[in-house]
Amino acid sequence: MKKNLSLDILVVLCFIGFLAGCKPSTPSPEPVVDSKPDWYYTGGELGTTENLSSMTFRQPTPATEKAGLGTMFAQGDNIAEKDFVTNTSGRQHGLGPVYVRSSCQHCHPNYSHGTSVPEGKYNAKDQGNGTLLVVINPATQAYVPWLAGMPQLFGAAPFKAPLDPDQITVTWKQATDEHGNQFADGEKYELRYPEVKMPNTAVYVYNQGYRDPDGLLETQGYEVKLENTIGVYGSGLLDAIPDQDIIDQYAKEAADGKLKNGLNPAFWDGGFQTSGYYKNDPQWGPKRFTYALTRGPIMDAAGANAIWNITNVTRSDRTYHYLDLNGTIYAEYASKDPEVQEAFGTQEEIYNYLTSKELPAEMTDEEFTQVMVWHRGLAVPAARNVTDEKVLKGKELFTQIGCDYCHRPTWTTGADEVRDPNHFPVTASMPRYPNQKIWPYTDMVQHKLCMENDIRTGWCRTTPLWGRGLHKKATGDAYEARMHDTRARNVIEAIMWHGYSQQSDAYYPTQQFYKLNKEDRDAIVAFINAI
Amino acid sequence: MQKNVSLFILVFLGILGTLVGCKKAETPVTTDKEATLQQAVTPYVQNTVIATYSAMADAALVLLNQAEQILDKVEKSEDYTQLMKDADASWRLMRKHWEQSEAFLYGPAAAHTIDPHIDSWPLDFNAMNALLHNEEQMKQIEQEGGAYVGDKLGYALKGFHAAEYLLFESIEKDGRAVGTGKPHATNLTHAEAVYLLGIIEDLAQQAILLEYCWAGEVSATKMKILEDGEVDTYEDKYGWQMINAGKPGSTYLTYQEVAEEIVAGCVDIAGEVADLKMGNPYISSTPDERDYIESPYSCTSTEDFADNIRSIQHSYCGALAGDHSVSNYVYRQNPDLDAKVHKAIEDAIAAIEAIDDFENTAKGNPQVKAAIEKVSALEQVLDDEVLPLLSK
């Protein structure tokens, strides 16, 4: 009996062994600790992606997928990703006659900000460099009239590039702040800023004989700056912030008197200004996009404009070309160019083509709608390491030293009724983000940092910090490409640029940061990289 | 006795079952997620990624030699019918390896813009025509070859598809160049042959660059091509970075992050195959539908799609028998989910391979619809179930 019992036990054990042996390595699932604070959902539950891979900025929001817009999003993504071509028909056709870049990805690699600009020849041909050349009259800070505000660097044969990128070079100069670029504990940092050289021979119309009334071309008295692109992701969420809440933010900042430079009078001068509204019309709300705060609702904001003016691909609401600021200088000189005439036609035909306001649409309404679904549907990455003690310490210090004054952590979206100043015939619902608590870390207001070789006019909208810690991972950039012209290679450099000038609106919090010990400084850096 | 024999057989089978059934348990039993995922990374880097890029670069070298011979034959006005057939075969082989790499388009392929550099379409025929008639530019291509093509020409004028256009036959149909999958007629102009060689030199440089960026080394022959072309090699040793997650110098802080990257790459290409590569030609309502076909001249579309899914298979399951992979970890956490992924991969490949004549029948084709559904199902299980499991 004992033997039989043993055998039976052995048999049973063996069967158990057989069964278990099939899946012996199936452990109990590891314990899941779901301790996500509200700031983990940077874009709210409708606007946050938890895909934190290098593809993170390319992900659709949960709202996009819930609305059944996943395929349209993918189609819009595909249009944004691929190069436009100079063909006169077929897919992605219509590039040119002159253009800034040939795809969205050129300036927004993986839909992030542009990558850090290397020293040397200015490369706009390959994807990555998202900086635009800002060519201005230094006396007035106005764009020069003989180039487009976003100058084109390429021409579609037979047309020639308004600017020859091969003649443009970037040099990084060193700056030293009042601390000698060194913290009290000896840790050093570097501050660099770009210097752009562009000879007048790089300017097509100059080479063709044009001379500007101000004489800037002849004397090379113009100034050239770099202005990097801002990541595309999360734009739809910023679009959903209620107008009145933005105006209230201006009122709060005006009232407390903490800003050395006050507020830009074009937006607030004893009250919110009409010129602060998009198209000077309150129905479109306060301007909220671009460093210079030039754009309002996303349906007519930077992306909707760029898919036309960067490529010069026309569509039903943009049946004309984006040329120089004056509007006719390039057309006049291109039409006189014998090589263009030989390939295209008479001087009159060339001029009329370039300046026509009634060109056929090259991008269909359906395609543009797909692009806008994609644009409004790009998610923000969830915050990382939200339970890490160092990050939590940094979060506390971020507020304590006053970073949160301009980098306002959170907003709550409104009903998010999509507005389109162009009344474009949108054939599909856009992704919407009503009543979401979002964490962009911007006050949506312009301030001055008074840096060396500063941004044009000095006024710059506080750039959202969300997702920026993933820039290197998403783009392969060697640096973090922070600040408007990629001058800051990491968070420390970015912070210290904020206090470079005693006239900076952020001088005080920067000095507070300077006084922190290394552990606390590192904690703030960890927090900024986590959000 | 009979009973005892039966018992012993059962005992034997039980022990055997324990041993054989442990196939997946070759991974040391551990609850340490990082350790389990770490085991998957080296085989992934070596046997899936580097092996694929290395094979692609090998095929590129053969193709490069054939392009040189084609130019020589054109210059001497000699027949090159067989050479064109051989070059087509090399292009197809190189292309196969590229398609089998599309689940790992992150890393060097993205960061160094190698993907758009070699795989942009549609082609810019307007610009190509201008280029071929521009004596100054053609002279520079003849002198500088791949270096000029790589540095000076836009993405829509180089890469696989520009080479494909010159290597495969296309016929005029409704005002468009429509591919037949047959070799290009041996009537290339001198400018076209020069341009073809420049494109393939550049293509070979980029293929070798991919291998170098991941492996940190390549054969002497390949290295010489990079050096001769003055190609920036970046020195990012991406494979090392993945294998050494958490160490100084690595982009990745954890092996979980590496595993998420691997699976996110799979999700991305599955979505592209379903929604765009197959989806656009299926639903296209415009005369541009032919432009949505990715390899319109070689007519290798379904082969491309199936190889894209194999790229997922090699990434998720491992390329070689016995390779540790992300699948091992998923299996240990949720065997049913792992089985679901394996089945979704097999179903997707089978559905794609069942499509007849994709290039000419895609629009509204129920076979295409079925394949789209299977690939979408694969994308969903990876995105909605595997990625969340990894990120827990």
Counting beta carbons within 10 angstroms of the beta carbon of residue A290, is it exposed (0 to 12), middle (13 to 18) or buried (19 or more)? Answer: middle
Percent of chain A scored above 70 by pLDDT? 93
Classify residue B98: in a domain, yes or no: yes
Judge whether A438 and A413 are in contact, CB under 8 Å. Answer: yes
Q: Which residues of B touch A17 (CB under 8 A)?
A: 14-15, 17-18
Domain span holding position B296: 33-391
Q: How far is B86 from chain A (nearest CA, A)?
A: 31
pLDDT (average), residues B169-180: 84
Q: Band the pLDDT of A428: cuts 50, 70, 90.
A: low
pLDDT (average), residues B173-187: 88
- Name the domain count of chain B: 1
Counting beta carbons within 10 angstroms of the beta carbon of residue A3, is it exposed (0 to 12), middle (13 to 18) or buried (19 or more)? Answer: exposed
For residue range A470-479, what is the model confidence (pLDDT) as tens digits?
999 999 999 9
Classify residue B27: in a domain, yes or no: no
Give the B window 5-44 contacts with A, CB below 8 Å. Answer: 7, 10-11, 13-15, 17-22, 24-25, 27, 29, 31, 33
Judge whether A485 and A193 are in contact, CB under 8 Å. Answer: yes
Distances (CA, A) of A220 to A119, A134, A198, A253, A323: 21, 14, 8, 40, 21
pLDDT (average), residues A503-511: 98
Interface test with A, best of B12, B15, B18, B19 (most A CBs within 10 A): B18
A89: contact with B, CB 8 A cutoff: yes
Interface test with B, best of A7, A25, A81 (most B CBs within 10 A): A25
Q: Which residues of B touch A87 (CB under 8 A)?
A: 122, 124-126
The closest CB to that of B264, out of A20, A51, A158, belongs to A51
Q: Which residues of A touch B286 (CB under 8 A)?
A: 364
CA distance B313 to B341: 9
Classify residue B8: in a domain, yes or no: no
B62: contact with A, CB 8 A cutoff: no
Q: Which residues of B touch A383 (CB under 8 A)?
A: none
Classify residue B121: in a domain, yes or no: yes
Residue with the bigger pLDDT between A111 and B361: it is A111
CA distance B180 to B165: 11
Tell me what pLDDT residue A171 has. Answer: 98
pLDDT (average), residues A435-464: 98
SS3 content of chain B, % helix, strand, coil (to 5): 70, 5, 25
Q: ipTM of the predicted structure?
A: 0.88
For residue range B379-392, what is the model confidence (pLDDT) as tens digits?
999 999 999 999 88
pLDDT (average), residues B73-83: 98
Whether residues B29 and A88 touch (CB distance < 8 A) is answered with no
A127: contact with B, CB 8 A cutoff: yes
| Torsion, Cα of A445, A449, A452, A454 (10° steps) | 10
Residue with tokens 């959902």: A41
Residue with the bigger pLDDT between B290 and B47: it is B47
Q: What is the CATH number of the domain that holds B358?
A: 1.20.1420.20
Q: How far is A120 from chain B (nearest CA, A)?
A: 15
Whether residues A85 and B123 touch (CB distance < 8 A) is answered with yes
Classify residue B374: in a domain, yes or no: yes
For residue range B217-245, what is the model confidence (pLDDT) as tens digits?
999 999 999 999 999 999 889 999 999 99
Least confident of A405-409, B71-75, B121-125: B121-125
Percent of chain A scored above 90 by pLDDT? 91
A105: contact with B, CB 8 A cutoff: yes
Tell me what pLDDT residue B283 has. Answer: 86
CB count, 10 Å around CB of B143? 10
| Torsion, Cα of A233, A235, A237, A239 (10° steps) | -170
Q: How far is A82 from chain B (nearest CA, A)?
A: 7
Q: Band the pLDDT of B291: cuts 50, 70, 90.
A: confident
Burial code of A119-143, b = ≥16 C-beta within 10 A, e = fewer? eeebebbbbbbbbbbbbbbeeeeeb
Distances (CA, A) of B366 to A181, A487, B375: 66, 54, 14
Tell me what pLDDT residue B292 has. Answer: 79
Q: What is the mean pLDDT of chain A?
A: 93
Classify residue B78: in a domain, yes or no: yes
Give the B window 217-276 contacts with A, CB below 8 Å. Answer: 236, 251, 257, 260-261, 263-265, 267-268, 271-272, 275-276
Whether residues B292 and A91 touch (CB distance < 8 A) is answered with yes
Classify residue B26: in a domain, yes or no: no
Q: Which residues of A touch B290 (CB under 8 A)?
A: 90
Tell me what pLDDT residue B26 has. Answer: 41
Least confident of A30-34, A86-90, B146-150: A30-34
Q: Band the pLDDT of A425: cuts 50, 70, 90.
A: low
Whether residues B122 and A71 touch (CB distance < 8 A) is answered with no
Classify residue B11: in a domain, yes or no: no
pLDDT (average), residues A387-400: 98
Tell me what pLDDT residue A111 has. Answer: 97
**Is residue A251's pLDDT more than 70?**
yes
Tell me what pLDDT residue B266 has. Answer: 98
The DSSP output letter for A461 is: E
- Identify the bridge partners of residue A446 per DSSP, sorted by sequence position: A461
Spatial CB neighbours of A335, under 8 Å, sequence gap ≥ 6: A341, A347, A348, A350, A351, A354
**Is residue B193's pLDDT more than 80?**
yes
Judge whether A430 and A373 are in contact, CB under 8 Å. Answer: yes
Whether residues B18 and A17 touch (CB distance < 8 A) is answered with yes
For residue range A164-222, what is the model confidence (pLDDT) as tens digits?
999 999 999 999 999 999 999 999 999 999 999 999 999 999 999 999 999 999 999 99
Residue with the bigger pLDDT between B144 and B24: it is B144
